[in-house]
Structure 1
Amino acid sequence: MAMNEYLIADPAERKERAEDKERWTLEFLRDEIYSTTAILAREMAVGDRAARNVLNRMAKRGLLVKDEVKFMEGRALPLWGITSSGVLEGLTPEEVETVNLRSHRVGGVSPTTIAHTLDVQRCRQHCEIDLDFEDWTPTRLLPAQEKKKNHPDRWSVYPDGVVMQPVKDERLVPVAIEVERSRKTPQRYIQIIRGHIRNIEAKRYFRVYYFCQTKNAAASLQALFLRLMKEKDIGYWVENSEESEKLSPEQSVKLFVFRGMEDF
């Protein structure tokens, strides 16, 4: 855990550390729009109490807004959302030309989607902080996401995010991230599997990481994918020098990596 800036003796270093935490928070929320204290605390590399001090300070300056999502049983989850001022804070003119201008709307978070959204944010942090992946792109910022469903530029399926993974030769390659909180029907999974394979064949990304609530759930989903791919003879087409070759379901399922979320 990083040291609180108030314990740093040098005023210049203390100021720089405080500015770093605000910058990291704004960078994260420009993509995610809103989040919780705990998630933003990890983004700042501090504890929850120190994070609340930073977040309250930013809210007083109009960079963030406090909000909450209320559930039917009466409990409420506090949230922090980025404002229009926060979106533009500290950006260069060149960055202003391309930054996504969406800000948080108080009261606009649905209780039915919040758990999945926060799990995606936790997976993003796991990828970027623990695995050293880079350049996360959330679903809503992926290419042609705003186009109509029959538009030729739309992807076959949209994952929860795409992030750049380091590989052995020091290159970065795009991989898709999916967070699976509950099971879908077999028919829906068949559509999703085929959609991901079409995206991989189009080189939009090279692998799909599925994060489930537990390792057991991840192993079960992997077994289901393999069964469905065998039953429907779903395979990945590889372009060789002379002709295309369809890989077997057993080979093609290796394009999907299944992980549990217990450890993070």
Structure 2
Amino acid sequence: MSALPPQMSFAERMQRVEQKQNIILRFLRDEIYTTQKIAQMLLGLSEIQTKRTLVAMEKAELITHKQVQTQSGWSPALWGITPHGQGMACADNELPNDRYFQPARVGLSILQHTIGVQRLRVQAEKADWTGWVNGDKSADFDAESRPDAIVTDPRGAVWCIEYERTMKVRSKYEGILFTRLKAIKAGRFSRVIWVSDTPQATRLVRQAVLSLREFEIKRAGVKQKIEIDPARHHPLLSFTDMSNFPPR
């Protein structure tokens, strides 16, 4: 008969509670809000254990929650960081982030996309990818060329992440492909990966992007002809579905 695992002492339990809360706070320091499902992925706990952790953090005024509803009918409960939580999320020599959860300022039209990108972040970091930076926080890109995220794989290669929740028109893919290849040439990252929710969507996105050969881009009122060389450019582009991200 196998021995039962030793019970944790009170001090050990408190340390574990603090560790779990710190994981959530460090994530929300940047992301500001998330769903219970993402928090569950982040902590690697059961649904009940995750809810218990979130409720305890809310009682401590580190986070708060609010149910919202999108136009599509999706109505998730969002758990977001408070100003107090931002202060407690700081590591040594860090200043608190001024941003905190304000439900009225949540972008409901892009909420599903935002939560999808968060899921990609959790999956990447659990696979030892590092340095995740959301595109809207990167000074290297303007609004027109902003990727969803930049992250470094375990081998040191820097990737541009594009979460493709819905298909785009051809002209949009032309503009994105142009700016991504230009950024690769400038050394901002070395690979681009489009991530879709399903294998079918992945096939459609791959087809849309890899079918581009010649097109025109208008910049500052001037048209520029772009030619794609499959042998040179396609090896820089990857496509996968959510369940197979990040690539091994």
The correspondence for 1:109, drawn from 94, 99, 106, is: 106
SS at structure 2 position matched to 1:118: helix
* In structure 1, distance between residues paired with 2:9 and 2:132: 34
Retained in 2: the 8 A contact 1:69–1:107? no
Gaps of 5+ in 1: 1-6, 146-153, 235-245
Retained in 1: the 8 A contact 2:80–2:101? yes
Which position in structure 2 is the counterpart of 1:140?
Answer: 136
The correspondence for 1:254, drawn from 235, 240, 244, is: 235
* In structure 2, distance between residues paired with 1:155 and 1:113: 15
* In structure 2, distance between residues paired with 1:105 and 1:89: 18
* Structure 2 counterpart of 1:163, one-letter code: V
Which position in structure 2 is the counterpart of 1:120?
Answer: 117
* Structure 2 counterpart of 1:175, one-letter code: W
Give me the TM-score of the superposition, normalised by structure 1.
0.80
* In structure 2, distance between residues paired with 1:77 and 1:69: 6
Q: Deviations over 1:214-237 (max 9, x none)?
A: 112212211221211x23399xxx
Cα gap change, 1:231 to 1:25, in 2 (>3 Å): same
Retained in 2: the 8 A contact 1:177–1:208? yes
Which position in structure 1 is the counterpart of 2:19?
Answer: 20
- Structure 1 residue 263 displacement after superposition: 5.4
Cα gap change, 1:54 to 1:212, in 2 (>3 Å): same
Which position in structure 2 is the counterpart of 1:183?
Answer: 167
* In structure 1, distance between residues paired with 2:145 and 2:191: 13
* In structure 2, distance between residues paired with 1:8 and 1:160: 43
Which position in structure 2 is the counterpart of 1:69?
Answer: 68
SS at structure 2 position matched to 1:70: coil
* In structure 2, distance between residues paired with 1:140 and 1:118: 15
The within-5 A match list for 1:131-170 is 131-144=127-140, 154=142, 157-167=145-155
The within-5 A match list for 1:200-215 is 200-215=184-199
Aligned pair count reads 231
The correspondence for 2:214, drawn from 231, 235, 247, is: 231
Aligned identity (percent) is: 29
- Structure 1 residue 102 displacement after superposition: 1.0
- Structure 1 residue 138 displacement after superposition: 1.0
SS at structure 1 position matched to 2:171: helix
Gaps of 5+ in 2: 1-5, 218-226
Retained in 2: the 8 A contact 1:233–1:249? no
* Structure 2 counterpart of 1:120, one-letter code: V
Give me the TM-score of the superposition, normalised by structure 2.
0.84
Cα gap change, 1:25 to 1:213, in 2 (>3 Å): same
SS at structure 2 position matched to 1:159: coil
* In structure 2, distance between residues paired with 1:217 and 1:247: 23
SS at structure 1 position matched to 2:57: helix
Cα gap change, 1:72 to 1:142, in 2 (>3 Å): closer
* In structure 2, distance between residues paired with 1:122 and 1:221: 20
Which position in structure 1 is the counterpart of 2:77?
Answer: 78
Which position in structure 2 is the counterpart of 1:174?
Answer: 158
